[in-house]
Amino acid sequence: MDDGGVKSLLDEFANSANITKKEANAFLKSFQNVFVDALENDKVLKINGLGSFKLSLVGERNSVDVNTGKPIKINPHYKVVFTPETLLKNTVNAPFAHLETVIIEDVVDMSNGEVNIDTLPLNEGETSFDLKSSDGTQVEPEVDESEGIAASSDKIESPLEKLTEQALEIKSLLEDIQGTACFSDNATAAVSDATTAEVSDVADEVIPDNATAVVSEVVDASASDAADEVGQSDSVDVENEQYTEQNSVESTAPQDESSVSIKEEIPALTKEEHPLKEEPPTVPHDEPTVPHDEPTEPQEEPLPANKEKENKGLDNEMLSIIRDEYKKRRRVRIAVVLSSVFVVLMLTVALVLDFYFDGFVKKYYYSTFVDNKEMSEDLLTEGNNTLMENELLAVDDDEIEADENVCAGDVTDSVGVQADSVISDVVEVEKNSHVNDNSAGADSRMFSAIFNSPRVYSQYIDTIKMPQDSRLTLVSLKYYGHRDFWVYIYEANKSRISNPNVITPGTTLYIPKLDKALIDVSNPETIEYARYLHDIFVRK
């Protein structure tokens, strides 16, 4: 009981309280007794400056005897729980009070893994907070660890860099290999290009140039080199060449480069010859045996002379065929895409026109035929005809535009024809739709006569004051039997209502007498028209 800890405590206590050690000891004893009594009786004891001691019940639970491994039951019991006062808590925690919760970036966790999660935050702590020396000693070794980890990560990264270097080397090697392939492709490309009339002419022009001894010799040399290289690449990998053939568009650039290199070998050539020089590798290679009328034939004839050339000629033929097919397919694709785009465009234009002119028709009618209560069919048809004419004109304009577009886009005539047919289809459809409109809209026009005659509100059924918690729709429901007819009340009282949605209670409202046809609840058109007005008013 009177162990060292208590003794030193009692000594200090006796000193501070100016009492003898005996008294202090007596105080502690009685303190302990009262403490136990208080907990036993009240289960709670609060001491100012310290905190509260509580007895908390720990319920019955099952456990396992550590030694025997048998399940045992732990009986319910009380346990003393101490909750310190906030002041004491803060006092005790003073050494760490300056530390705050730090948000850790998720990226840090991802990249550094588990080990660094513990060490790296400490780094942050060191940088952001001034830890005391005792804490610093704790932190530093861990920081060293993290540095070590960083160093190791560097070690990991450095081989990676080597790997990337290796990859780059491999890539460059591959490019070199592909370069030769491209060079071989130059020959093939030149052959395929020679099928076009232009290039054959060029070849004819080149021949006389080659007649000069120096040039022909040099070119022959380069051509034979090229042929050798081609032969090698052919023998090595035919598929590779096919692959490069597919990328013929891309390979044209290297082709130019190679031709440039050839040009460098032949300083004697003038600049005028240079554009012609793009093809010479093949042309002279065919030269020794055959005339240059058709570039494919000469390749076939030297077959017995050179087996490599035989292979090459066959390949070239194949390649030219494939290329032609490819081009055809491409053209077809372009044509299909462009035509489809066109169809969509024309459809949208037609729709827009239809929409616009529909609206225009209404407006036109409203403005011109409002006064005529009986609209003659002749006038209608006339109006429609003029409208149709306008529409057709507009469509024609579009057609012209479309044709222009076709010309600009280098689309084949078939596309234009398709587009025209589509346009004509669209126009027919529009015509049909308008015919339908004419037949179906006959009834509605009777109503539109009623709707469009200007409403004059001279007679009133009633005069009311806007009740509290009411709306125009409710008033309309009361007087006209439908909510949607509020628009007429609003129209009659426009001068008194600024906003139909907000009417100050007590506002005097005149309920107008309306044509029965206008507020015929059984007729959906009246409601539709009311809603149409509603839209107009609400938008305002």
Partner 1 sequence: MNNKEFVTQLSKNLNITQKQTASLLSDFVSVVVDQLAKGDSVALGSLGQLEVRQKEQRKIVNPATKKTMLVPPKLVLNFKPSSSLKSKFKEV
Options 16-24, 256-264, 482-490, 496-504: segment touching partner 1 (CB under 8 A): 16-24
- SS3 of 26-43: HHHHHHHHHHHHHHHHHC
Closest contact distance (angstroms) between CB of 62 and partner 1 is 18
Instruction: State yes or no: residue 30 binds partner 1 (CB under 8 A).
Output: yes
Enumerate residues 113-142 that contact partner 1 by CB under 8 A: 117, 121-122, 124-125
Options 23-31, 173-181, 228-236, 242-250: segment touching partner 1 (CB under 8 A): 23-31
Instruction: State yes or no: residue 106 binds partner 1 (CB under 8 A).
Output: yes
Instruction: State yes or no: residue 44 binds partner 1 (CB under 8 A).
Output: yes
Backbone angles phi, psi at 81, to 5 degrees: -115, 130
Give CA–CA dist 9/262, Å, rounded: 102
- Among 427, 396, 422, 404, smallest CA distance to 339 is for 422
Closest contact distance (angstroms) between CB of 20 and partner 1 is 12
Options 77-85, 412-420, 439-447, 461-469: segment touching partner 1 (CB under 8 A): 77-85
Q: Give the one residue of 21, 22, 37, 366 binding partner 1; rule: CB under 8 A.
A: 37
Instruction: State yes or no: residue 39 binds partner 1 (CB under 8 A).
Output: yes
Closest contact distance (angstroms) between CB of 117 and partner 1 is 7
Instruction: State yes or no: residue 81 binds partner 1 (CB under 8 A).
Output: yes
Tokens representing residue 488 in the block? 């007429």
How many whole angstroms from its chain centre is CA 475? 51
Instruction: State yes or no: residue 169 binds partner 1 (CB under 8 A).
Output: no
Residue 65 or 106: the one with the smaller Cβ distance to partner 1 is 106
Give CA–CA dist 171/167, Å, rounded: 6
C-beta pairs of 87-90 under 8 Å, 24+ apart in sequence: 87/49, 88/49, 88/50, 88/51
Instruction: State yes or no: residue 48 binds partner 1 (CB under 8 A).
Output: yes
State the number of binding residues for partner 1 (CB under 8 A). 69
Tokens representing residue 30 in the block? 């009685």
Give CA–CA dist 101/129, Å, rounded: 11
CB 395 within 8 A of CB 427: yes
Instruction: State yes or no: residue 366 binds partner 1 (CB under 8 A).
Output: no
Q: Give the one residue of 20, 21, 22, 36 binding partner 1; rule: CB under 8 A.
A: 36
Residue 36 or 393: the one with the smaller Cβ distance to partner 1 is 36
- SS3 of 339-375: HHHHHHHHHHHHHHHHHHHHHHHHHHHHHHHCCCCCC
Tokens representing residue 241 in the block? 């060449």
CB 203 within 8 A of CB 272: no
Instruction: State yes or no: residue 102 binds partner 1 (CB under 8 A).
Output: yes
Q: Which residues bind partner 1 (CB under 8 A)?
A: 1-3, 5-6, 9, 12-13, 16-17, 19, 26-42, 44-51, 53, 55, 57, 75-82, 84, 88-89, 91-96, 99-104, 106, 109, 117, 121-122, 124-125
